Structure 1
Amino acid sequence: MPIPVDHAPIRTSLLRDTVHDRLRDLIVDGTLAPGEVVRDTELATWLGVSRTPVREALLRLGESGLVRAAPGRSTVVSEIDLAEVREAHAVVVTMHRLAVAEAVARLTPAHLDTMRAANQRFAAAIAATDTDAALAADDDFHAVAVEVSGNRALATVLDQFSPVVRRLERLRFASLAGTESVALHDRLVETCAAGDADAAAEVAYRTWQNLADLIPDTQPDSQPDSQETP
């Protein structure tokens, strides 16, 4: 039969995003370990796609700092650089605080119900020590404010830097410290429901700032004042 002239073409952007998200998640959850060599041909075969979306995904992952490549050399999964994690975390904290501040006036009862339901799933996942489910529920919870804010620049920045911070989130949500986030989520919904943008933004800040406790001090130990001269 003839091809319909009005047939909508497949959106290649969806394929690129899917490949990127799959590889990003494999790096964040440790399936692709730090220092591991990743080859576009092998990844393309494994994912059942051409090399083009894989190469594009690796370029984006390089911009996020999750992989590193040099001309003529293999691409490798980046080691966890604490300085980069600290920088990315500062950006992510600021963006989520801004998202909530901009979203409060636009949140509807339906949006708040979505946040409450996500936090219930989050609490259940924390109690069951299901880190993957906790991260998914946490994403759903915070995505409401990001989407309602309508700030595309903010969303783009979070898309780039959140994966770097995600490694910290896995550590937090795998421990009892994650239970504190449940209470902070509840408080965030309460302040949003009250229409208090300033208070809600402060709670959002506290929620994300808590991850800073998981970043070890990157400063070298100070040397004694008196040292023997050679």
Structure 2
Amino acid sequence: MPLPSDAPPVGRSLLRDDVYRRLRDAIVDGTLRPGEQLRDAEIGAWLGVSRTPVREALLRLEGNGLVVTQPGRSTAVSEIDEKSLRDARDVVAAMHTLAVQEVAGRLSADDIAGMRDANRRFAEAIRAGDAAAALDSDEELHAIPIRVLGNRAVEKVLEQFGPLVRRAELIRFSDDGHASIERHERMIDLCERHDGAGAAAAAFATWQSLPTSTESR
């Protein structure tokens, strides 16, 4: 395949973002578990990068609440803290509720079909006990109203607080996510009817159903 000879090199920001996403996903899916030490050199060797983008990624992850750093000592995957999770869940719920309310009347037939297909795959994953696949399908479903809304401020908020919530969702889907199938379907039905208020209430109920008590998990 011919490539342009004058193409600029891959930017450092892209490398930094890729390292961030790889580490974020490894924490969310449980590959890197709570309390596990995160060492720059080991991560760099794993991902084939220098320490600089690793350190930058860890700073972003600290801002997400996914890692904790003790200056001059160590960096580790954070434990799931009840208050932090509750705060993040409430913010994420508000953003998704806003999106659904705003776009319920302008989702296309393809958008609705995409949401139904994602929920079908979500249901299959739950019944198969595949929490990771369920989490991916759940994220795809909820991403459709966000995409249609096209509000960059909402997207930035979800980038900040979404990973912490997804981490807890994976735990829930590992236990039992059957109730979410019906909640999703109700929200989709209301969107299809262009009932913004009803769909927003259904979306809010879906996100607020995520437990934050460590005892409930």
TM-score by length of 2: 0.91
Q: Which runs of 4+ in 1 moved over 3 A?
A: 11-14
Aligned residue identity for 1:199: G
122-131 or 156-165, larger mean C-alpha shift: 156-165
Deviations for 1:121-178, whole angstroms, at most 9, x for unmatched residues?
A: 10000000100100000010000011111111111111111111123211221123x1
Instruction: Write the mapping of 1:1-230 to structure 2, written as runs, cut at 5 A.
Output: 4-5=5-6, 7-176=7-176, 178-212=177-211, 214-216=212-214
Aligned residue identity for 1:203: A
* 8 Å Cα contact 2:107/2:148 also seen in 1: yes
* 8 Å Cα contact 1:191/1:200 also seen in 2: yes
Shift of 1:34: 1.7
Shift of 1:12: 3.8
Distance in 1 of aligned mates of 2:154 and 2:14 = 21
* 8 Å Cα contact 1:106/1:149 also seen in 2: no
Distance in 2 of aligned mates of 1:11 and 1:61 = 20
For the pair shown, which has the larger CA radius of gyration, 1 or 2? 1
Distance in 2 of aligned mates of 1:149 and 1:57 = 28
Shift of 1:8: 4.5
Distance in 2 of aligned mates of 1:132 and 1:158 = 19
Shift of 1:106: 2.8
Distance in 2 of aligned mates of 1:191 and 1:15 = 41
Distance in 2 of aligned mates of 1:201 and 1:30 = 31
Aligned residue identity for 1:22: R
* 8 Å Cα contact 1:37/1:74 also seen in 2: yes
Structure 1: 5+ residue runs without aligned partners? 218-230
Distance in 2 of aligned mates of 1:114 and 1:123 = 14
* 8 Å Cα contact 2:39/2:75 also seen in 1: yes
Deviations for 1:77-114, whole angstroms, at most 9, x for unmatched residues?
A: 11221111111111111111111112223311111111
Structure 2: 5+ residue runs without aligned partners? none
* 8 Å Cα contact 1:37/1:75 also seen in 2: yes
Aligned residue identity for 1:197: G
Percent identity over paired residues: 52
- Count how many residue pairs are aligned between Structure 1 and Structure 2: 213
* 8 Å Cα contact 2:106/2:194 also seen in 1: no
SS in 1 for 2:76: strand
TM-score by length of 1: 0.86
